[in-house]
Amino acid sequence: MEPSPDARKRPRRLRCDAELNRDRIIDAARKVYRREGLSASMASIARAAGVGIATLFRRFPTRTELIAAVFEDAMERNRAAAVAAGANESAWDGFRGYIETVCGLQADNRGFAEVLTMNFGSAKDLERKRQEGFAAFTGLIERAKAEGRLRKDFTPEDLPILLMANAGVLGAAGDAAGEASRRLVGQMLRAFAADPAEPLPPAPAPKRLLRGMVRQRRAGAPAN
């Protein structure tokens, strides 16, 4: 007996609903991670997506799988930026461009700095991209030192330290966060340079910076 047209349509509809839920969860997680970092709970992401916690876990059985889906594009951008920087004729120009790109990715989503230091053994493609990006960056460091443009005592561990400092600026500067972050990165690149004559991006206007900090403090203040 042939299945009815409605019966044939049902599996297709279920697949469409499942895909819609997946996209909704990823979009919600991206926004929550951008605001709260990777410490955000799965329950808060489910609420933001408008789905039940059981639905979330059906689509993403582990937190790592959800993080991998959210940050797949950003990790590819990081990998591509590191590889392109390594191909730059000037290792210092490549190094500077890569640092600016990574800090820009962090400005787009606060969780990105944590993702760079995570091990994604179960998400093989993401882990491969992370390792390729790191390998390109470490090679770039050695070339920039050999050029005499990067301090000899710079280590790969200085990048997560910079990202931690940048996270503080992004979290505190409110509306002026983008300008304040670029200023910090400029200051740090000058500190990393063997010849500290690198030009700095302009600082945020004092009133704009103060206004942004006050607004950010008010937004984070607990309700009475």
Domain ranges (residues) in the chain = 1-61, 72-220
Q: How confident is the model at residue 206 (pLDDT cuts 50, 70, 90)?
A: confident
Q: Can you give the pLDDT at residue 203?
A: 72
Q: Give percent of the chain above pLDDT 70.
A: 87
Same fold across 1-61 and 72-220: no
Q: Which class does domain 72-220 fall in?
A: mainly alpha
- How is domain 1-61 classified at the CATH fold level? Arc Repressor Mutant, subunit A (1.10.10)
Helix axis angle, 177-192 to 206-220, nearest 10°? 110
The average pLDDT across 68-96 equals 94
What is the C-alpha to C-alpha distance for residues 29 and 111, in angstroms, rounded to an integer? Answer: 11
Contact predicate 113/162, CB 8 Å: no
What is the C-alpha to C-alpha distance for residues 194 and 27, in angstroms, rounded to an integer? Answer: 42
Q: Can you give the pLDDT at residue 171?
A: 83
Cα-to-chain-centroid distance, residue 176 = 19
Q: What is the pTM of this model?
A: 0.74
> Helices (DSSP H) in 112-157: which residue ranges?
112-116, 124-147
- pLDDT tens by residue, 33-67: 887 888 889 999 999 999 999 999 999 999 888 99
- pLDDT tens by residue, 167-203: 889 888 888 888 999 999 999 999 999 987 656 677 7
What is the C-alpha to C-alpha distance for residues 59 and 36, in angstroms, rounded to an integer? Answer: 22
Q: Can you give the pLDDT at residue 21?
A: 85
Q: Please choose, from the candidates 90, 34, 107, the residue with its C-alpha nearest in 3D space to the C-alpha of residue 67.
A: 34
The pLDDT mean for the chain works out to: 85
Q: How confident is the model at residue 223 (pLDDT cuts 50, 70, 90)?
A: very low
Q: Can you give the pLDDT at residue 35?
A: 79
What is the C-alpha to C-alpha distance for residues 54 and 52, in angstroms, rounded to an integer? Answer: 5
Say if residue 13's pLDDT is above 60.
Answer: no
* Long-range own/partner contacts, residues 54-61 (CB < 8 A, 24 or more apart): 55/21, 55/25, 56/25, 59/18, 59/21, 59/22, 59/25, 60/25
